[in-house]
Amino acid sequence: MGNLILFLILAVIAIGSAIMMLFSRNAVHSALWLILNFATIAVFYIILNAPFLAMVQITVYAGAIMVLFLFVIMLLGTEQGSGVLATRRGQLWTAAGLGLVVLGSIGTALVRIGGSSVQAAAADTSPRVLAMILFENFTFPFEVTGILLLVAVVGLYVMSKQLRKG
């Protein structure tokens, strides 16, 4: 019963921080809400008896990726934005529709796989097993993700140079 109560408290914090991240008008504040969300997810990993994934979550996402986000925000000088509600109505409805599609597909996947296979997949989360899975089965997506992040940083740098000239 204690784990259920802890899960519900953490779920409220995770969902609340995600909503605050979306509706914050200040980009730095949005990044800080996202750090809270990442930390909450790390606690979920600890509850699932995966301390290595929790530390990777904190180190990689809340540490390195968020420092990169904050660096880009400060580099471009876009601390103040218009927020989600000031976007065009078509964009907001499209985003809401796509969000519902994603939630529906996740729900469908959870119903199809059942609870037993999810628990079996989370049984062995040692760093050795995770490394074997990552570097044997997912080498190409891992490298493509790294290249994508590099291209995004270079693109933002080029955009910031063009903004300063104009």
DSSP 84: S
Q: How many domains does the chain have?
A: 1
Name the more confident of 159 and 55. Answer: 55
Q: Model confidence over 90-133: pLDDT tens digits?
A: 766 777 777 787 777 767 766 776 655 445 455 666 778 877 87
The residue segments making up the domain with residue 52 are 1-86
67 is a domain residue = yes
CB distance 142 to 135 below 8 Å: yes
**pLDDT tens-digit profile of 15-32?**
998 988 888 888 788 888
* E-state strands within 18-166: none
Average confidence score pLDDT of the chain: 77
What CATH number does residue 27 fall under? Answer: 1.20.120.1200
Consecutive H or E run containing 43: helix 27-47
**23 within domain boundaries:** yes
